[in-house]
Amino acid sequence: MVPSAGVTSTDKNSALSAEPEATTTHSDVTRVAGRGTVYITLAKVWFMLTGYATHFALARLMSIENYGLYQVVMGVVAIINAVITIGTSQTVSKYVSHDEASADSVKNAALRLQLLIGGGASLCFLLLAPVVSAYLRDPQLTNYLRLASLIPLAYSFYSVFVGYFNGQKRFLTQAGLDATYSTLKVFFILLLVSLGYGVGGGVGGFALAAGVVLVISAVVARRSHDTAVINKRSMPLRELAHFQIYLLGFTLVMNLLQKVDLILIKSLSSSNPQTASENAGYYGAAINLANITYQIIISMAFVVFPLVSRAAFEEDRARTRTYIANTLRYSLMIMAGVATLLSANATEAIRLVYKAEYEVAAPSLRIVAFGMLFFGVLFVATTIISASGRPSVSLLIGLVTLISSASLNAALIPGYGIAGAATATTAGMALGSVLCGSYLLSSFKALMSMSSLIRIVSCSALVYVVSAAVTASSRPLIVAKLVGVGIVYIAGLIATREIGSSEVSAARKVLGV
């Protein structure tokens, strides 16, 4: 975290470490998990705010052409970064959570492994830059892509430290480093661009921020190492690599799953390139809003991963079942509210963010909002499955879902356009959720209760009824309507006792009151 005025570097380190002990008793799990979810959620919110601020400023500091070039370069890098970050951090988190006394052994083995994985990815990125530039028909991209090859290299090693802290359930440290990185990134990018370095400054600022936060994370981990009880047991590289390869493959599949519908709309929705691009723009607007549904619960997946991993490693099936049931219940409770709000108020939601022309995307948003709910369930469930030691199962479910979604999109888009894409994506994601639920039920005899599912669905239906009865035209009235209907949803959960004394007790534990 960036220290405020009057805070010394020593105070800063203490703040990063001021969190629950890594070896947490079972009675403290609610407090640790709850606070961890809050910490990581706040870091993710800061990440999104600084990201929007960066793009808002760059659109004014750069020409339209340069801003487009920057977007293309960062878009290519983002795919690689997402795969490396999640695959690496979850691998390290899993093995650290098994035996926290061996955390440094796992970290050191993972850092050596990244010389191969991160170094290889970065080298391929560097060497393929001219090929990518030729495919995109713009030779000037070559040098920018070469500079960007430093980013996945830094991300690869930084992800080891993220997993190191996550596996020890040091969620405040993890969140603090992520927030620091977000702050450094917006600072360096805007500084170098404002100094006149253009696209190269933007890419270089991104790479510089990644390098600096890597150094900071290494220093924080080193200070932890000085006071930790260390087990000298060596971590076999082969075991680590085997697990990580499955997770890297799974993460790649999940990233493709999020983009296949938009790609196929551009390819199949019209023979006229301009019309196809417009269709992609409309659908992209719907997806950007629908994505809020699952993004809001990503922090839960980060928190539950080391908890399930530790419980599965210790063969504590009762505790594993509790984690599965509670995580699915809370995730669905949150996502159902958001998805139903977006679906029931699709036209108003689009009007709130976009120009009037984009209201043509409202029918798609009504459908795909629930597609992203199913994707959220898929994301959380596969995180649990991977944490239990079965990343190959997550990969298989992801592949089946991807093939199903792509096939349905290819079949429906030519005849039904963006509404067909929304329907196909929702059906594909629903299939993936069912497969995950079936596996969890057969392997762990655990899912959320049917009574909870009925109550959540009933409260979601209430949102539809109230939304249909209330109209709003201006932006202030739309915001008021969405807030009001959201309160109705929460009130319904309280009235049906889906939110009750146990949730209040859990909240008090999290808040320490």
pLDDT tens digits, residue range 79-127? 788 888 888 888 888 888 877 777 888 888 888 888 888 898 899 889 9
Residue 340 and residue 373 in contact, taking contact as beta carbons nearer than 8 Å: no
Instruction: Quote the pLDDT of residue 499.
Output: 82
> Encoding tokens for residue 179?
């927030």
Q: What share of the chain is helix, strand, coil (3-state, %, to 5)?
A: 85, 0, 15
Instruction: Quote the pLDDT of residue 425.
Output: 96
Residue 309 and residue 391 in contact, taking contact as beta carbons nearer than 8 Å: no
Domain annotation covers residue 77 = yes
Same domain, 171 and 259: no
Of 235, 254, 281, the domain-final residue: 235
Domain annotation covers residue 20 = no
CA angle 71, 75, 79 (to 5 degrees): 170
DSSP symbol at 359: G
Instruction: Quote the pLDDT of residue 366.
Output: 95
Tens digit of pLDDT per residue, the chain (513 long)? 333 333 333 333 333 333 443 444 444 566 666 677 778 888 888 888 888 788 778 878 888 677 767 877 887 788 788 888 888 888 888 888 877 777 888 888 888 888 888 898 899 889 998 988 887 677 888 898 899 999 999 989 999 999 899 888 888 888 899 999 999 999 999 999 999 888 899 999 999 999 999 999 999 988 765 544 444 556 566 777 777 788 788 888 888 888 888 878 877 888 887 788 788 878 888 888 898 888 887 777 767 777 777 777 677 788 888 888 888 888 899 899 999 999 999 999 988 888 888 889 999 999 999 999 999 999 999 988 988 888 889 999 999 999 999 999 999 999 999 999 999 999 999 999 999 999 999 988 888 889 999 999 999 999 999 998 888 888 899 999 999 999 999 999 999 988 877 666 655 555 555
Residue 421 and residue 409 in contact, taking contact as beta carbons nearer than 8 Å: yes
Domain annotation covers residue 410 = yes
The CA–CA distances, whole Å, from 374 to 157, 189, 228, 505 equal: 32, 35, 41, 29
Domain annotation covers residue 200 = yes
DSSP symbol at 19: S
Domain annotation covers residue 2 = no
Same domain, 66 and 123: yes
Give me the amino acid identity at 106. V
Of 180, 211, 235, the domain-final residue: 235
Same domain, 224 and 250: no
**CA end-to-end distance (rounded Å), the chain:** 26
Same domain, 55 and 96: yes
* Residue with the two structure tokens 């999940």: 254
Instruction: Quote the pLDDT of residue 16.
Output: 35
Instruction: Quote the pLDDT of residue 224.
Output: 64
Give me the domain span that covers residue 174: 27-235
Domain annotation covers residue 493 = yes
Same domain, 307 and 417: yes
Phi-psi region of 50 (alpha: psi -120 to 50; beta: other; left: phi over 0): alpha
Instruction: Quote the pLDDT of residue 234.
Output: 60
DSSP symbol at 139: T
Same domain, 196 and 260: no
DSSP symbol at 132: H
Same domain, 166 and 193: yes
Domain annotation covers residue 241 = no
Same domain, 82 and 202: yes
Of 235, 254, 275, the domain-final residue: 235
User: Total domain count for the chain?
Assistant: 2
Same domain, 375 and 319: yes
Domain annotation covers residue 403 = yes
Instruction: Quote the pLDDT of residue 486.
Output: 92
Helix axis angle for 346-353 and 475-495, nearest 10°, is 130
Model confidence over 438-456: pLDDT tens digits? Answer: 999 998 888 888 999 999 9
Instruction: Quote the pLDDT of residue 6.
Output: 35
Same domain, 509 and 360: yes
Instruction: Quote the pLDDT of residue 28.
Output: 59
160's CB contacts (< 8 A; 6+ apart) are 88, 89, 92, 107, 110, 111, 114
Instruction: Quote the pLDDT of residue 8.
Output: 32
Same domain, 222 and 312: no
Same domain, 257 and 224: no
The SS3 of residue 281 is helix
